[in-house]
Chains A and B, each alone.
Chain A
Amino acid sequence: MADQWQSSMDHAVAIARRAGEVVREALLDDRAVMTKSSSVDLVTQTDQKVEQLIIQSVKEKFPTHRFIGEESVAAGESCVLTDCPTWIIDPIDGTTNFVHAFPFVAVSIGFSVNKQVEFGVVYSCLEDKMFTARRGKGAFCNGQPLEVSEQKDIQQSIVATEFGSSRAPEAVDRIFCSLKNVLSIPVHGLRGAGTAAINMCLVASGCVEAYYEIGIHVWDVAAGSLIVCEAGGVLMDVEGGEVDLMSRRIIAANSRTIAERLVREIAPFRPPRDDAPPPN
């Protein structure tokens, strides 16, 4: 039976690759930086340009599809997920890395129908690694199948996380409480590449056993969430319940065992949801 979303997925891969070229070219120039929610929440013209490139190209081919894009939402568009086919776009995940030319920058495209992610594409454009997953059909990097690590012992695990762009003291203190708890288990190590999408692909690749973060957005994790699941991994909320991609909290792990162990160590807090109505 033909896959009704195959042409959408093919388009996503092609446009992610094209977007990656734009990012690489932009790295050769100066990158003028603006800020969003805090002095360390960065955005550039390239973020905006790449998002428009992706959205325009999709609108031409799939005029009924909807969008949740990081920069569009920043400009006031709605961030509510409906049942309609919806492209969930982070044009540059790792904007801070992009500004600094720190080598991890990804284009992330998740596609949902009936509020379920049907495919995910993460293009790590400086590494030229195209991560993809189609629901029920596995996860791949540059055509090679991905499988999560088999490690079930948290003390033999590497965990990826990020400190995020909030500098609110309460958030920072909770983040560091979690960090110390996780390290004290002890784990083999902690890593942070600076992009949620790539961190999730590292879980899917088997290089790290888990990734957790509070403060990410739906566009950071929509694509990566399916890539992790299709590589055999699991998703969970930081307090142990079902993951909610709009909640701005996530654990992505190779197994429930590892995920549940992390739940015991994470000091949770609740950032404003992505789908919350904007404050008046």
Chain B
Amino acid sequence: MSRTSGAHTRNTQLCVLLQSDVCLLHVSFPCFYSHQTSEFTLLVSNLNHAVQSGSLVVPQVVLSAFQQHKEVKLKSSPADLVTETDQRVEKILISAIRNRYPQHRFIGEESVAAGERLELTDSPTWIIDPIDGTVNFVHRFPFVAISIAFTFNKQIQFGIVYSCVEDKLFYAQRGGGAFLNGEPLYVSGQQDISRCVVVTEIGAERDDVALSTTTSNICRLLKLPVHGVRALGTAAVDMCQVATGGADAYYHIGMHCWDIAASAIIVQEAGGVVMDTDGSEFDMMSRRVIAASSATVADRIAQVIQAFPCCRDDEDNCRCGATGVN
């Protein structure tokens, strides 16, 4: 599968700095990019180097906390957890980025939980999940990811998912392809649903309607049949399995924009498709997604699964607050 090799010129240079004493990365753009001269390529090689040398602070914060006992609070349900590390990591990231780019905006999971308004505008916006897979993190189940997406004019420009315990850095830039630790990623290209491995999550909802819908969706898919259904506990890492070709599709109802914004562009740049669960265009605020190796498979899944009612991320009265209940 060939990569887009033409250059897309935008207003400013993509420039990525890694300041190992502060933050995972600082990025400014939109950008001029081609594979030979792109500063995004520089970004990636810097990121890889920093990951290898262990100089990235944010993953260090996550990994050292991974082995410790964690104080856990509940958010919207008994299965919707948050820890002090989630909050700390998000503050580090936002602070470092804001320091360099004071005009940029943020949609961060824990900021929103603390009452910040969730609104996607045309402004350069960072969409951050400091720890995707908080339940995994609490249990030391080894799939925990930092997810960072950047949008401009409401369009995702690039995404980074760092699966910390596995030490896997997934990333993609619009028009520039998708990569894992420097190697290009391609979806499986599978068109036949009966040969698919599908990844999904049960999610944090535990009310009867959501559970009935969720389990009956998986049941219907299995009976098609599909080859199998898998669940790793983090939407970001699940979706990256589609980008690697290791899975053929992912779907989820009830996750949030910060869970999937980065991996959505990673899947697309690996040649896959993303769409809403009803088959309509992908809308990252809708809290529904299908990511697949092909439109055929995505459409087939859309025919089979049903969504339970879920308020949009950008609806004013839809919040997952930290309730402090333990």
A residues sitting closer than 8 Å to B (CB atoms) are: 38-40, 42, 96-97, 99-103, 149, 155, 158, 163, 167, 169, 172-173, 176, 179-180, 183-184, 186-194, 202, 205-208
Contacts and interface: CB of A to CB of B under 8 A. Distances in A.
B227 A99 contact: yes
B241 A102 contact: yes
Given A100-B246, A186-B78, A180 B211 contact: yes
B222 interface: yes
A193 B225 CA distance: 19
Contact of A40 (B79, B142, B227, B246): B227
Contacts of A40: 225-228
Contact of B215 (A99, A180, A189, A205): A180
Interface in B194-246: 194, 197, 202, 206, 208, 211-212, 214-216, 218-219, 222-223, 225-233, 241, 244-246
A202 B77 CA distance: 25
Contact of A183 (B138, B215, B228, B229): B215
B248 A158 contact: no
Contacts of A100: 188, 197, 227, 245-248
Q: Which 6 A-B pairs have the closest CB atoms?
A: A186-B206, A207-B141, A102-B246, A176-B219, A180-B215, A96-B228
A163 B225 CA distance: 12
Nearest to B214: A183
Nearest to A202: B141
A39 B141 contact: no
A167 B229 CA distance: 13
Given A40-B227, A100-B247, A167-B222, 7 more contacts: A39-B225, A176-B219, A179-B218, A183-B211, A188-B138, A191-B232, A208-B141
Interface of B: 77-79, 81, 135-136, 138-142, 188, 194, 197, 202, 206, 208, 211-212, 214-216, 218-219, 222-223, 225-233, 241, 244-248
A206 B247 CA distance: 26
12 contacts: A96-B228, A97-B197, A100-B227, A100-B246, A163-B228, A163-B229, A179-B215, A186-B78, A188-B79, A189-B79, A190-B202, A207-B140
Contacts of B194: 39
B198 to A, nearest CB: 11
Contacts of B208: 184
Contacts of B233: 158, 189, 191
B227 A188 contact: no
Contact of A101 (B77, B219, B246): B246
A192 B229 contact: yes
A193 B79 CA distance: 20
A87 B136 CA distance: 34
Contacts of B218: 163, 176, 179
B77 to A, nearest CB: 8
Contacts of A169: 223
A97 B231 CA distance: 13
Contact of B231 (A103, A149, A172, A192): A192
Contact of A188 (B135, B229, B232, B246): B135
B139 A149 contact: yes
Contacts of A191: 141, 231-233
A188 B231 CA distance: 13
Contacts of B226: 40
A206 B140 CA distance: 8
Contacts of B212: 180
Contacts of A39: 194, 225
B141 A176 contact: no
B281 to A, nearest CB: 28
A149 B136 CA distance: 13
A102 B230 contact: yes
A4 B97 CA distance: 62
A103 B231 CA distance: 12
B227 A158 contact: no
B139 A158 contact: yes
